[in-house]
Amino acid sequence: MTTVPIAYQIRACLGDVLRTKLRQGRSEFLAAARHDCRGTQQAVLNRLLALNEQSDFSRQHGLRAGLSVREYQSRVPVIDYEYLRPWIDRVREGDHGALLGPQNRLLMFAMTSGTTAQSKYIPVTSQFLSDYRTGWQRWGVRMYDLFPQLRNLNLVQMTSSHRKSVSAGGIPCGNISGLVASMQGPLVRSLYTIPAGVAEVEQSELKMRMVLTLAATDPHVGVLITANPSTVLQLLESLQDDPERLIRDVRDGLEREVGVAGAAGRRLRRRLRPNRTRARQLERLLSAAGSLRARELWPQLCALAVWTGGSAGAYLQRLRELCDGIAVCDHGLHASEGRMTVPLEANCSSGLLELSTHFFEFIPQRDADSASPQVLTAEQLVEGEEYLVLLTTSSGLVRYNIRDVVRCTGHYGDTPLLEFLHKGAHISSITGEKLAESQVVQAVQVAESEVGLQTAQFTLTPEWGDTPGYTLYVETRGVVQSPAEIHRFSDAVERNLCASNEEYREKLGSGRLRRLRVQQLPPTAWRQLRASRLQRSGGSEEQYKHPCLVPDPDFQKVFLKFCGLTPSQAEALQSEPAA
């Protein structure tokens, strides 16, 4: 059994005091969710309206504290980022009063991709950061209750810089996780194996090497945390693919590779000094087992904390293979725009609505394209129904359609439990079939199990032709699959799509859609697509969500333009459907 260092024991005792206070706050949150969803949400709305009441946006729209929900809805339409862009642009130029109240201090802009070529800049204020942290604390204290051994263990969390650029008004722009990491106090910072300075490393490959080296050097890791499970998968597969390089990096150190300035850089260099003792331990592990796996590297690892809903579910089977017996815990539906759910248990993608920090409204998915959609408040949701989420937050977002589609999976008292399905934009309908990304992910997962074929990445996209249809572009694990195997896989995916989408089955049966095509792609194509999308959006590696459904009939041109494929290579992407 691994001996617990004295410093960790002292830290655990100090942490117990903090966690006792956090448990009290979580209990109050759960009590409000159980007994007073409507009243809590009205109080939150009043608080948010008062916070930004003196902004130009609020004055122009007649927003003030004390409005009822109905009055509020009558004064502002359901909006998107383009509606807010002129106001946010003024804030970026330094006119914070355009959108924010005088007491609502702006800290940064979270950058994320938008529906146009331009990035979205989401204001992050001091109050929003407090709300953001509160949600994480509620989730975190539950993790310590589920896994008591975490008291004496460390966390590996991957973040990105909050200072990728600076606005015209002098405000940093980047990733909110980097801001949180940079503001941690000494006690909290000591919990994290990866120093905050790693977020400032710009080269993605070097950053991953540093993360893996730092994590491998620490035998007291209890949880791996990041937003996208593909990031954890990349980390763990690096252990499998090139363990010798990892051992070499641990033995020789990577301190000379650190280009981060200031105190953060000095701390990072200290942590990346040569560690020959740990390198010898890793060599013995590799010699005994023939590979380096998470279980051997971190014997006390008890959980992976990642998104599990929507397209993220495509990675979970492979993660569980690499981490047999380790719990997979969803840390909730959250984005740069706000935190929406807090899961209550492990191994569950559904979470309780974060009702005490943001004000929420919902549009039934069936009304998504309506000019006058029905809009519901949280306590009105029905189990089993699907909804688009509208956010009102302390950062100035008002009735903001984030375009996330969720399903109500039940209730905790009178507050809904929600499961993320897909982004609203991730629905394809070329003949009225309304194929959703969640249906694609499920169909591919079931087909993999039926056929015995594993994919590393996949994307389904519509394509025009004499008869339009869909092509599934895949990168398979291991050897290139034979045409017969690909045809079997294509049949299985198509059969499962038909089972989950009646319109798709009907359109296919009537000949309005052609049979599904499956085409293998080299891994370089996906890497280049990922790099190009991140470069255009200004987002971070951890934020990147691989699109399992791209409703763009010109997707081949996307590969040709952004992935460096030649015209002949693009032509070769065509493949015939199964018989």
Report the CATH superfamily, name and number, of domain 28-127+332-423: ANL, N-terminal domain (3.40.50.12780)
Residue 115 has pLDDT above 50, yes or no: no
State residue 532's pLDDT score. Answer: 67
**459 or 355, which is more confident:** 355
Q: Identify how many contiguous H helices and E strands the chain contains and give both numbers.
A: 21, 22
CA–CA distance, 183 with 426 (Å, rounded to integer):
35
State residue 428's pLDDT score. Answer: 84
State residue 427's pLDDT score. Answer: 81
Element (H, E) at 253: none
8 Å CB contact between 236 and 546: no
**571 or 162, which is more confident:** 162
State residue 579's pLDDT score. Answer: 44
pLDDT in tens, 485-506: 889 999 999 999 999 888 898 8
- Rounded to whole angstroms, the maximal C-alpha distance in the chain is 72
Q: In what order do the strands lie in the sheet with 469-476?
A: 455-463, 469-476, 517-520
Summary mean pLDDT of the chain: 88
State residue 113's pLDDT score. Answer: 59
pLDDT in tens, 7-20: 888 888 988 999 99
CA–CA distance, 476 with 312 (Å, rounded to integer):
17
State residue 230's pLDDT score. Answer: 77
Q: Where are the domains of the chain?
A: 28-127+332-423, 427-571
Mean pLDDT of all residues in 201-215: 91
Concatenating the DSSP letter of every residue in 447-462 gives HHHHHT--EEEEEEEE
Three-point CA angle 37, 337, 417, nearest 5°: 35
Mean pLDDT of all residues in 174-195: 90
Phi, psi dihedral angles at 242 (to 5 degrees): -145, 65
Cβ partners under 8 Å of residue 56, min gap 6: 87, 97, 98, 99
Does the CA dihedral 384-137-171-529 come out positive or negative? Answer: negative
Mean pLDDT of all residues in 402-423: 93
* pTM of the full structure: 0.82
Kindly give the residue spans of alpha helices, DSSP state H, lying in 272-423: 276-289, 294-297, 316-322
State residue 468's pLDDT score. Answer: 83
Mean pLDDT of all residues in 104-108: 97
State residue 323's pLDDT score. Answer: 86
Residue 116 has pLDDT above 60, yes or no: no
Give which of 203, 373, 32 is closest to 211, Cα–Cα. Answer: 203
Cβ partners under 8 Å of residue 454, min gap 6: 318, 448, 476, 477, 478
CATH code of the domain made up of 427-571: 3.30.300.30
